[in-house]
Amino acid sequence: MKKWSAFVISLILVSQSWAELQGNGYRVESNLGSECIDCQNGDSPMDALMRFTQNMSVITDGVLDIEIISDKFNYAEKCDNFAAKENGELNKWGTVITREIEKERCAPLLNQGPRDIKNYCPNFKNMDPLDKKALYVLIMAAMTHYESSCNFREKAPGPNGTAAGLLQLHKGKEQKYSSGCRQNDSLNAERSLACGVAMVCDQTAGRGENLFSSASYWEVLRPRGRSQKAKKIMAAIRKFGPCDPASANAKRNNNTRVAQK
């Protein structure tokens, strides 16, 4: 939130001083004084604003896409626990995903990605790590929406007992699915997500299976599943801006222009 506040203040400074920026070599004087937000090494306020805008686009683009896609696909309101609509930052569940995806078992997912990821995210190999992590937050958010409407108290009869929690893991048997899972993880939102990420990493990086596989624990990741929800998750991935080479190139070109000014 502090960065967004600084951004707004910077915009105010620039709007109040635009005439002087043109006439005085980017020198800002305003009713707020001549303080420069984020200036470095004698930068003008305009230089600082350009650099700040560039940095913010790198930090937030992927996260903002999560919010946009969540709205487009009408994800449950509780799915906002993954990414905040008001400030373009990850919320608690989103940070759980990024933390778990950084662990050694998941390293291949941040490098080459799942074997089939290029089918849905053609630009994956060129994406920066922040956008890759944001993509996995989107995938887990989509899975959670279709499994439980992002309600960590959700329970339903399953083939091996009671399926519970955000990702509908079999209560009391979670530890059997991955070494990254603990018994009764399904009863805690954060632990349920941590277990789910470990299971996805085991499926894709450990066993070399596709992300969308008939062998997946979750029906929502099975391409031929009866609900066809896997296709909806595929569609969400395709909407993720950094996955599109054209959008990614436009962003890089824009950042290059900003950096050169």
> What does the pLDDT look like over 205-214, one tens digit per residue?
999 999 999 9
> What does the pLDDT look like over 151-188, one tens digit per residue?
999 999 988 899 999 999 999 999 999 999 999 999 99
pTM of the full structure: 0.75
CA distances from 157 to 154, 163, 220, 245 (A): 11, 6, 16, 43
Per-residue tokens: 108: 């291949």
> What does the pLDDT look like over 180-192, one tens digit per residue?
999 999 999 999 9
172 domain residue, yes or no: yes
Confidence tier at 50 by pLDDT (50, 70, 90):
low
7 domain residue, yes or no: no
Confidence tier at 28 by pLDDT (50, 70, 90):
very low
208 domain residue, yes or no: yes
173 domain residue, yes or no: yes
198 domain residue, yes or no: yes
Range of the structural domain that residue 243 is part of: 61-260
Distance CA 83, CA 71 (A): 12
Mean model confidence pLDDT for the chain: 81
185 domain residue, yes or no: yes
Antiparallel, parallel or unpaired: β 155-158 and 169-170: unpaired
> E strand or H helix at 156, and its extent?
strand 155-158
18 domain residue, yes or no: no
118 domain residue, yes or no: yes
Q: Count how many domains the chain has.
A: 1
